Structure 1
């Protein structure tokens, strides 16, 4: 499995090296930068580097109009702090330590993705042998896959999401709470995990009731009794998901003295002067396609729902289904759609299992389908890196 992941990362490295040769000098890197420079210093990597070396400001910077300007509080602390630890232990520079750490974390994420698909989607694995490995391969060849080996948080976030789901499936709720809290200080994606915990609790409760109805007359309690200890663990895990989902904005408000400082900071990256749910999707649709734009979101949303309700998706376990649906709904609610949406979609990794399981025919047909998906993903990695990671002033779209 790790060999498959290594091949995917090697391809992404080739893509980055090829594109780097056409990179002009910008604020972060010189013309034709080295691989270390290109993976460790571009785009948001510079923000994370500043956090690792200087920390967060005590106050929020503002412009002449009083609006909060872009600042480090938009970026969560766990990844830069971990990198700072690696730098202290090894003496390596940020540009070397940060992408190397991301690469290692990505390998751990691949292991967790493989394990969580194998354990969490038994019906899908029975229908499509080799599905866990195919999912890992598709995640590794995702169009935004190069981000898994640059100084970004995707590798750590993927590791924590897949690890949290795996621990939840293993009913190790205490350790799952630890990973969910860590997720809450990595990316703003912990809240959807609360939905997964509720779904898991409902599944366990239904299984426990079913077991109780079929218990033997001599007092058998059934194999899946939901006892007080498990109930307390689930409540603690649910609380951890909710608290970690709002902890960083609260810390930002407390540290800067501006209660809504985090939202004001996020607004600095947006077209609107404030953060509002869902409305940016309508704004962007109008900007792209005119007055008819918002109506085009209806068939797009219907297509997503159709995928989530398709037979391959229904064969996933309840927890993987819940994470995918909750996370995509969360993106619709809180994200302003743009080019970064491709990168954000990486955390909806169960869709890789859905795509790999779309063909259930003979082995040759499944291999042909998977090969086509992998080739398409590898080609789109080149397009993504060329079009988004490469910056050609005076304008550019963020990856």
Structure 2
């Protein structure tokens, strides 16, 4: 069996000049340079859209940059958590139903921002977005390493794949949230960090990261599937004589899978314990939904009709077909089992639990291995590879401009949060 060579410091295919200079830098410098350039682009887009912004519930007309990325939409909810914590009782409306409240927003990101605010004396609208930028940088470094370590076949087919993945994730249409007062940057860092630690078999450290993920976003449950897949890969390798497996390995990975599942349920349990309402978290989530019911895949029965009317069924079918195609193309199978499993499990999970509204595109950011799939679809010749990557990059940048203009720009009359 031939050995697959993993390139330790892959880069985008260089050409003479600037690319050649960039390719000679350490991998982490390349990653931070790509991420920094993407964030500068997004900053320019935010400044442009802020200049078009009318007065709204969060900012005055034509706000400055930091209030625009620190207070808008969910940013103000996280600010409430950072400054006031969570209510001991769930607010009830005149109709007897739970109203929107802070329990829908997980605590780790606002608590980190609160600590930095006390340490530096800086206000929320400055500290929180800058914290998100730094966390996003850490996420890109972890993403690069997971592709290098977790997808050796894909990297062998395209040595520039790790950096190309970083680039596509950095300019993804909703990657703009990596520099606003939202939790995506922290969640992306913890997801990529957990996968990297799993690939390195640092299970104890992964356990800590998974617990932190449970206090960041409701996305820890699909990580249990990835742990099971990892355990199966290790067991099968041992059966073939190419790996090791002991009862301690099986017990440890079983405990890690259980911990991942428990972590996914930890915050709802805490909400129920503090408020005295066992399903208080679900009732809080229902307050944001068009239909006050949280049922697996339930949102797909009514939300597409709102957005697309009579074309809802073909649009949904086409969207599902596209996602399935991305998960089964050869570039996807060249990913390591763990990265492939995360992408598939996470996509199924959010389809089941998330109402397919305006926030769904933002949630897709955490399915970052699909960026590696997209970048790795074309492997040769080199000219076609560069044209494909360039075309996707330009498309993502254009869609990001569209997303910020259409979704982040608040309509003072009626709007959907991004």
Instruction: Please indicate the TM-score interval, normalised by the length of the shorter structure.
Output: over 0.9
Is 1:336 aligned with 2:336?
Answer: no
How large is the Cα RMSD of the aligned pairs?
A: 1.2
Residue number among 29, 32, 39 corresponding to 1:2 in the alignment: 32
Equivalent position SS for 1:69? coil
Is 1:51 aligned with 2:81?
Answer: yes
Partner Cα separation in structure 2 for residue 381 and residue 303 of structure 1: 20
Residue number among 226, 232, 236 corresponding to 1:206 in the alignment: 236
TM-score (norm 2): 0.91
Equivalent position SS for 1:18? helix
Aligned residue pairs: how many?
A: 388
Residue number among 360, 365, 386 corresponding to 1:346 in the alignment: 365
Partner Cα separation in structure 2 for residue 302 and residue 26 of structure 1: 38
Please show how residues 139-158 of structure 1 align to structure 2 within 5 Å: 139-158=169-188
Residue equivalent to 1:91:
121
Residue equivalent to 2:27:
none
Please show how residues 308-347 of structure 1 align to structure 2 within 5 Å: 308-347=327-366
Residue equivalent to 2:320:
301
Residue equivalent to 2:286:
267
Residue equivalent to 1:279:
298
Which moves more between the two structures, 25-34 or 327-336? Answer: 25-34
Equivalent position SS for 2:289? coil
Structure 1, unaligned runs of 5 or more: 212-222
Residue number among 381, 385, 388 corresponding to 2:407 in the alignment: 388
Residue equivalent to 1:219:
none
Equivalent position SS for 1:396? coil
Could you list the per-position Cα deviations for residues 167-203 of structure 1 after superposition, in whole angstroms to 9, with x for gaps in the alignment?
0000000101111110011000000000000000000
Equivalent position SS for 1:263? helix
Which moves more between the two structures, 325-334 or 291-300? Answer: 291-300
Is 1:37 aligned with 2:56?
Answer: no
**CA apart distance, 1:128:** 1.1
Equivalent position SS for 1:270? coil
Could you list the per-position Cα deviations for residues 26-62 of structure 1 after superposition, in whole angstroms to 9, with x for gaps in the alignment?
1211111111111111110000000000000000011
Equivalent position SS for 1:19? helix
Residue number among 4, 22, 47 corresponding to 1:17 in the alignment: 47
TM-score (norm 1): 0.95
Equivalent position SS for 1:247? helix
Could you list the per-position Cα deviations for residues 108-129 of structure 1 after superposition, in whole angstroms to 9, with x for gaps in the alignment?
0000000001100000011111
Residues 1:365 and 1:97: Cα distance change in structure 2 (over 3 Å): same
Contact 1:282 1:293 in 2 (8 A): no
Residue equivalent to 2:189:
159
Contact 1:174 1:233 in 2 (8 A): no
**CA apart distance, 1:289:** 4.2
Residue number among 271, 276, 281 corresponding to 1:257 in the alignment: 276
Partner Cα separation in structure 2 for residue 360 and residue 298 of structure 1: 29
**CA apart distance, 1:298:** 3.4
Residue equivalent to 2:92:
62
Residue equivalent to 2:255:
236
Structure 2, unaligned runs of 5 or more: 1-30
Equivalent position SS for 2:394? helix
Contact 2:136 2:185 in 1 (8 A): yes
Partner Cα separation in structure 2 for residue 226 and residue 3 of structure 1: 41
**CA apart distance, 1:294:** 4.0
**CA apart distance, 1:230:** 2.4
Equivalent position SS for 2:181? coil
Please show how residues 352-391 of structure 1 align to structure 2 within 5 Å: 352-391=371-410
Partner Cα separation in structure 1 for residue 134 and residue 68 of structure 2: 18
Contact 1:177 1:236 in 2 (8 A): no
Contact 1:45 1:151 in 2 (8 A): yes
